[in-house]
Amino acid sequence: MQQGKIATDALVIGGGIAGLQAALDLADQGFRVLIVEREPSIGGKMIALSKVFPTLDCSSCICTPRMAAAAHHENISILTYCEVQQVDPAGDGFTARILKKPRYVDEVVCTGCRLCEYACPVNVAHEFEGELVARKAIYVPFSNAIPQVAMVDLDNCLLCGRCEKECPPGAIDFFQEPEEVTVEAGTVIIATGFEMTHMEAKPEYGLGRLRNVLNPLQVERLLAPHGPYGRVLRPSDGKVPDTIAYIQCAGSRDHTLGVPYCSRVCCMYAIKQAMLLSGSLPLVEVTIYYMDIRAFGKGFEQFYQNAKAMGIEFVKAKVAKITEDEQQNPVVRIEVIEEDGRVEERAHDMVVLSLGIVPAGHADGVLPASRAEDGFFLAAEPKLAPCRTDHEGVFVAGTAAGPKDIPDSIVEGGAAALEAAAHLRRNGRSPGRDMNARQESTQGTLAQQAN
Amino acid sequence: MSTRVDPDLRREVARFGADDLDKCINCGNCTAVCSLSEGNTVFPRKTIRYLQLGLKEKLLQSPEPWLCYYCGECSDTCPRDANPGETMMALRRWATAQYDRSGHAAKFYTSAKRLWMAIFLRAMIPLVLLALFHAITGFKWIVTDHVELNTFAPVMWVWLAVVIHFIFLGYRVMSGSLTMSRHVLGASSQPFNLPFVVYLSELKTFLLHFFTQKRWRECGEQHHRRWLEHMFFVSGYLIMLLLVVGLLGWFQTDKIYPIYHPQRWLGYYATVALLYGSISMFVGRIRKRDQIHKFSDLTDWLFPGFLFVGALTGILLHIFRYADWPWPTYVMYVIHVMAMVAMLDVEVGIGKWAHMIYRPLAMYLVRLRERSEELALAAGAATPAAN
């Protein structure tokens, strides 16, 4: 195993929107920042979204510039496709052990031309596109991924060598090995983000078993202009859906799932998707089955009222189970509470489960900060210093600290950066060149910065 | 129609076991997940809502608690962990106490001390009666060189006592049933004037469900096995009831019949069924694997306990009699009778055994309500100008 060593002021774990914001805010003050991202590209969950609530801005259009700004920043280095294995306090800073997983493609040499993809004969379900379409066994993660570098999915690769023959700069290297990188940093910002609720515990909703029951990230891809089909079709037979149902609290506020809390964003993203679906399919009927609608943020209530005015139907009912009829239409079973309380089974062309937010990330003890029972990182002072963990010099931002939406994650990214900068200054680390003028950085690839 | 709200209702019902009421947010998952919820009888949410709001009248008018067979799916899937299935169970206990005019049911369900006291006192009745009998006869009726059970406890007198006891129990069950019927049928918005023949013809619903409890099967495939076990157990119970109440003169005898005689194998069959039933109930309650067994109340434990004691003392009595040991036989006989008298008195109509009558009765009453609505609808259709 190769060894490498990086010294930096701040280590940001997670390259989603919260981590990017924290990194940019620190780097602009002149501190050196290393972002470690477990996925092959930075951008987190946000880069996969179509539009964001309640403004309906294009998500790519506001997320990609942030990604590019971080990638091109003079003070920011980025390690993608890396696992943080252990972070320990060392002196007045921290030492982190990081495993850089092999891409089997030389990051410095690869130009992202994608000729390898065209040569590869293997088709595999595309994770980024919600497994609605296929990718190749060698692929660039997605069209606006940063870095634009291919990687080999060795589990599915036939080792036929066609890509190697096609690659113009000869970047493919099947002998690449995992690399261990040791990082010395003055402060750590945890921005490890979230995953959607795991639905194995709720088999009565049939996610993964019923083909026309989708998770919300799949619908984001269906709605994205550069998504899998370029239009909204249901997966089983490519039919344009006439009726679509949303099931709220499908993965939150449910003791049987071990997720008793509210995930805060599901009401709004369901309403947003309902509006976008109504936009792309003018004849579609969208029904949202809910327990309560929680439209608490700025502009949210108006957004909800607009959705109602658009004709989106809101039905108060907790869906008990989803089955399928002969046409593979999902059938939801509900009690019609607002009428006479009868039990009804209603068929829809497509059903979306409004899944909740559960913490993503590391096993206990990997990062030097405590987590609450629900798995989110604890704030030492939840009211006065929500970004400060119970370990001095370790800060948390975004959904790693609890469910929240994009603006709140960005606010926390900034707040964590400010706290981290103060911590660095207290420990005698002074910023290098102040980047407030934010000069264009043109030299060097990501990999060179990292090494 | 005015609606009276009883703010103390929740606390009252909580004494019977439902204490998760505050968790419920009325999302309706329980009703939608229930495979028995259909037509005009949807539960548990609506029933629980009445309880939350303190609508005592509405609750008394609801046959729904008796239509639930406690498969536990609602509690398993309740997003709030509010245990709707157990609330329905508590409502059944509460309703039983409401139907019971003697007030015994309420006391037994809410105070373990009173329940044990009642069991002790009821058990003493046969002991005292038998002691009196032998004291009066100067203990000359106790034959000790060989077993003569019918001299120790003459079957005709015992039979008479059993019949008197069952008349008393029957009165209790009838009175409870009438109270329930009055409440449930009184809920109809239409005046209730069904022809008498409908009451009679719908009795088939009652009988069908009384003997088969077949609605339980609709809870789903996974409950068929337990339903079958329950059928086996009930068959043993009913046979034993028939042998003791209807045929005691034939059943309690000093004559030893050959093994192929129905007196022998009917008794054996019933004993095996009761023993199996009570043990499987015990095992389930100890394991607590199924939702229905998670919250066993004292009254839930007593029920298989009594049956087990009854079956066990019955078996020992049988063995001692066939071995021709007079004193062990007499002592075991007294213990057996004491246990069974106490059991019948605290269970039939007011305890766990209330469901035997109230479940099929609820289905009968629902049918009557449906017939009444059909009739009203037909009448309305015939005279559209009446409004």
Query: What's the pLDDT tens digit per position in B178-237?
Result: 999 999 988 766 666 788 899 999 999 999 999 999 999 999 898 999 899 999 999 999
pLDDT in tens, B104-154: 999 999 999 999 999 999 999 999 999 999 999 988 888 888 888 999 999
- Answer for the pair B325, B119: CB distance below 8 angstroms, yes or no: no
Q: How far is the alpha carbon of A205 from chain B, nearest alpha carbon, in Å?
A: 11
- Among chain B residues, the shortest Cα distance to A203 is held by B77
pLDDT at A339: 92
- The answer on A80 and A139 residing in a single domain is no
Which domain does A164 fall in, by range? 102-176
Give the domain CATH number at A407: 3.50.50.60
Nearest alpha carbon to residue A314 among A341, A340, A295, A292: A292
B220 touches chain A (CB under 8 A): no
Of A330, A357, A384, which closes a domain?
Answer: A357
pLDDT at A434: 53
Please determine, for residue B263, whether its predicted confidence score (pLDDT) is greater than 50. Answer: yes
- Among chain A residues, the shortest Cα distance to B43 is held by A341
- The answer on A312 and A202 residing in a single domain is yes
pLDDT at A321: 94
| Cβ contact, residue pair A317, B76, below 8 Å | no
- Among chain B residues, the shortest Cα distance to A315 is held by B27
Q: Choose among B27, B37, B76: nearest Cβ to A343.
A: B37
A320 touches chain B (CB under 8 A): yes
| Cβ contact, residue pair A255, B79, below 8 Å | yes
- Structural domain count of chain A: 3
- The answer on A439 and A388 residing in a single domain is yes
- The answer on A422 and A310 residing in a single domain is no
| Cβ contact, residue pair A256, B26, below 8 Å | no
- The answer on A352 and A242 residing in a single domain is yes
A339 touches chain B (CB under 8 A): no
Nearest alpha carbon to residue B321 among B153, B180, B165: B153
- The answer on A366 and A353 residing in a single domain is no
ipTM given for this complex = 0.85
- The answer on A369 and A326 residing in a single domain is no
The residue-averaged pLDDT of B343-367 equals 91
- Rounded Cα distance, B383 and B367, in Å: 24
| Cβ contact, residue pair B28, A337, below 8 Å | yes
- The answer on A437 and A387 residing in a single domain is yes
pLDDT at B204: 94
The mean pLDDT value of chain B amounts to: 90
| Cβ contact, residue pair B42, A341, below 8 Å | yes
| Cβ contact, residue pair B27, A291, below 8 Å | yes
- Among chain A residues, the shortest Cα distance to B75 is held by A256
pLDDT at A397: 97
B22 touches chain A (CB under 8 A): no
- The answer on A206 and A118 residing in a single domain is no
| Cβ contact, residue pair A317, B80, below 8 Å | no
The torsion angle over the Cα atoms of residues A256, A262, A268 and A274, rounded to 10 degrees, is 10
Q: Which residues pair with A330 in a beta bridge?
A: A324
- The answer on A345 and A271 residing in a single domain is yes
pLDDT at B191: 61
- Among chain B residues, the shortest Cα distance to A202 is held by B77
- The answer on A122 and A83 residing in a single domain is no
CB contacts under 8 A, B 36-65 vs A, are 37-39, 42, 45-46
3-state DSSP call for residue B153?
coil
- The answer on A152 and A65 residing in a single domain is no
| Cβ contact, residue pair B77, A256, below 8 Å | yes
A383 touches chain B (CB under 8 A): no
Q: Domains of chain B: which residue ranges?
A: 9-99, 104-369
What does the pLDDT profile of chain A (451 residues) look like in tens digits?
A: 567 899 999 999 999 999 999 999 999 999 999 999 999 999 999 999 999 999 999 999 999 999 999 999 999 999 999 999 999 999 999 999 999 999 999 999 999 999 999 999 999 999 999 999 999 999 999 999 999 999 999 999 999 999 999 999 999 999 999 999 999 999 999 999 999 998 877 889 988 899 999 999 999 999 998 899 989 999 999 999 999 999 999 999 999 999 999 999 999 999 999 999 999 999 999 999 999 999 999 999 999 999 999 999 999 999 999 999 999 999 999 999 999 899 999 999 999 999 999 999 788 889 999 999 999 999 999 999 999 999 999 999 999 999 999 999 999 999 999 999 999 999 999 887 555 444 444 334 444 444 4
pLDDT at B378: 85
- Rounded Cα distance, A351 and A218, in Å: 11
H/E/C letters for each residue in chain A?
CEEEEEECCEEEECCCHHHHHHHHHHHHCCCCEEEECCCCCCCCCHHHCCEECCCCEEHHHHHHHHHHHHHHCCCEEEECCEEEEEEEEECCEEEEEEEECCCCECCCCCCCCCHHHHHCCCEEECCCCCCCCEEECEECCCCCCCCCCCEECCCCCCCCCHHHHHCCCCCECCCCCCEEEEEEECEEEECCCEEECCHHHCHHHCECCECCEECHHHHHHHHCCCCCCCCCCCCCCCCCCCEEEEECCCCCCEHHHCECCCCCCHHHHHHHHHHHHHHHCCCCEEEEEECCCCCCCCCHHHHHHHHHHCCCEEEECCCCEEEECCCCCEEEEEECCCCCCCEEEEECCEEEECCCEEECCCCCCCCCCCECCCCCECCCECCCECCECCCCCEEECHHHCCCCCHHHHHHHHHHHHHHHHHHHHHCCCCCCCCCCCCCCCCCCCHHHHHC
Query: Class for domain B9-99, per CATH?
Result: mainly alpha
